[in-house]
Amino acid sequence: MIENLTKEQIEGMFDALPFQMLFVDANDRVQFWNNSKARLLAPPEDVVGKDVRGCHQEKSLPRLEQILTNLKSGAKDEEEFWVSMEDSGLKALNRFLAIRDKDGNYLGTMEYLLNFTYLNQIAEDKKDAHKYQP
């Protein structure tokens, strides 16, 4: 069914999602990064084609290595952790999902950051939009 969509339509759909995501191939190279309005971190200009480790802080690399090992080996299909930045009040869920073909072979990892600060703001802005007003 995806063959019915243009590249621009697929890219537009990914950019419309309310979370920031990237795809890392089986060789740990970043191959895609969407441009969501909920973006938490700006991607480095030249991130595509480079090792995913370059997108993470050094202190988080041991955790990233364990996540990639678990997803590649099949020990886990998903991993997650919370990101909190107390100075800005930011709270986000960072999830990693193993992407596999129909035979279960590892194709890569989709990582996404779900910005709860952004989602809470949307909820706050719309909280009265659906109230019944007689």
Domain boundaries, the chain: 75-125
Rounded distance between C-alpha atoms, residue 56 and residue 97, angstroms: 17
Q: What is the pLDDT of residues 18-73, one digit of tens each?
A: 888 999 999 999 999 888 776 666 666 678 899 999 878 888 899 999 999 999 99
- Residue 125 has what pLDDT? 73
- Residue 115 has what pLDDT? 79
- Residue 18 has what pLDDT? 82
- Residue 71 has what pLDDT? 97
Contacts of 24 (CB under 8 A, 6+ apart): 30, 31, 52, 108, 109, 110, 111
C-beta neighbour count of 82 within 10 angstroms = 9
- Residue 108 has what pLDDT? 98
Task: Work out the end-to-end distance of the chain between its first and last CA atoms, rounded to an integer number of angstroms.
Answer: 45
Rounded distance between C-alpha atoms, residue 45 and residue 47, angstroms: 6
- Residue 1 has what pLDDT? 79
- Residue 79 has what pLDDT? 95
- Residue 98 has what pLDDT? 98
At the topology level, CATH places domain 75-125 in Beta-Lactamase (3.30.450)
Is pLDDT of 105 > 80?
A: yes
> In this predicted model, which residue has the larger pLDDT, 48 or 104?
104
Cα torsion at 111, 20, 43, 27 (round to 10°)? Answer: 20
- Residue 131 has what pLDDT? 67
Q: How far is CA 11 from the centre of its chain?
A: 15
The band of 93, judged by pLDDT with boundaries at 50, 70 and 90, is confident
- Residue 75 has what pLDDT? 97
